[in-house]
């Protein structure tokens, strides 16, 4: 469903990612893990079109989207839950959901069933929500675009354990509900491996390991060695 081929790029003159090739199938969750600053978030920004590509390509459902602008990639079926949530402070929850909606499986009723708390906060503005509520809204907004592939950048960052547990369960339901391909960047390695089918370890802007998440989770020695690359 989502594929990159030798994708390289970064910010301005700074090259962050080099020759990254990956695939995520429909209904599959792939986690990207690695130490801070190795290019995980920049890779997602390259795929959605917000960082500057130097070379390589991106395909979604077999269609080349490399030259598409950010909004065109969204219309093509690429959803994004950015780090920091990027909720509009002056829009209500209801307005966020209305402007994001496109026809498909995910309707407002379905996302409110997934996140009942948002149904209680429809009239509240973005800056009146807690961090957990903002993250729910960011995910709900992305789902209402009815993406074929969904990218999530550290969705559990800074949240209380009870909210993290709720979001983990919600993400499982999202993947189980249809044919969304999920690419997840997460600093909490235990959660990332538990949620995903496969994992990619990054170091210095490159993919240095790819394998079955459950297998890596059981091999603490290999996991520690991979997460310590570059020391």
CATH number at residue 172: 3.40.50.300
45: its two tokens: 């920004």
Reported confidence tier of residue 230, pLDDT bands at 50, 70, 90 = very low
Distance CA 88, CA 126 (A): 6
pTM: 0.92
Distance CA 81, CA 27 (A): 18
Segment (H or E) for 58: strand 52-60
Query: In terms of residue numbers, what domain contains 208?
Result: 2-227
| Residue 53 pLDDT > 90 | yes
| Residue 231 pLDDT > 80 | no
State pLDDT tens for residues 156-173: 998 999 999 999 999 999
Count of structural domains within the chain: 1
Distance CA 121, CA 133 (A): 9
Hey, what long-range contacts does 95-100 have (CB within 8 A, 24 or more apart)? 96/126, 96/137, 96/140, 96/141, 97/137, 97/140, 97/141, 97/144, 100/141, 100/142, 100/144, 100/145
Task: Count CB atoms within 10 A of the CB of residue 134.
Answer: 21
Give the whole-number percent of the chain exceeding pLDDT 70. Answer: 99
Distance CA 131, CA 100 (A): 20
Reported confidence tier of residue 176, pLDDT bands at 50, 70, 90 = confident
């Amino acid at each position: 469903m989502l594929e990159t081929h030798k994708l390289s790029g970064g910010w301005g003159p700074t090259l962050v990612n080099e020759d990254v090739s990956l695939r995520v199938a429909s209904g599959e969750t792939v986690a990207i893990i690695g130490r801070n600053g190795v290019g995980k978030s920049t890779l997602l920004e390259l795929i959605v079109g917000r960082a500057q590509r130097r070379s390589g390509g991106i395909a979604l459902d077999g269609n080349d989207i490399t030259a598409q602008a950010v909004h065109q990639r969204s219309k093509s079926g690429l959803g994004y839950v950015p780090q920091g949530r990027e909720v509009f402070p002056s829009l209500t929850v209801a307005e966020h959901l209305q402007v994001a909606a496109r026809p498909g499986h995910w309707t407002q009723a379905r996302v409110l069933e997934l996140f009942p708390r948002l149904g209680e906060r429809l009239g509240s503005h973005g800056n009146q929500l807690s961090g957990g509520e903002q993250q729910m809204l960011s995910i709900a907004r992305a789902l209402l675009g009815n993406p074929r592939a969904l990218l999530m950048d550290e969705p559990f960052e800074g949240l209380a354990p009870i909210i993290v547990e709720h979001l983990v369960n919600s993400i499982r339901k999202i993947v189980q509900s249809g044919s969304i391909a999920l690419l997840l960047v997460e600093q909490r390695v235990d959660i990332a491996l538990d949620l995903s089918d496969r994992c990619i370890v990054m170091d210095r802007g490159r993919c240095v390991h790819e394998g079955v998440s459950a297998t890596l989770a059981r091999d603490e020695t290999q996991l520690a060695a991979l997460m310590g690359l570059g020391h």
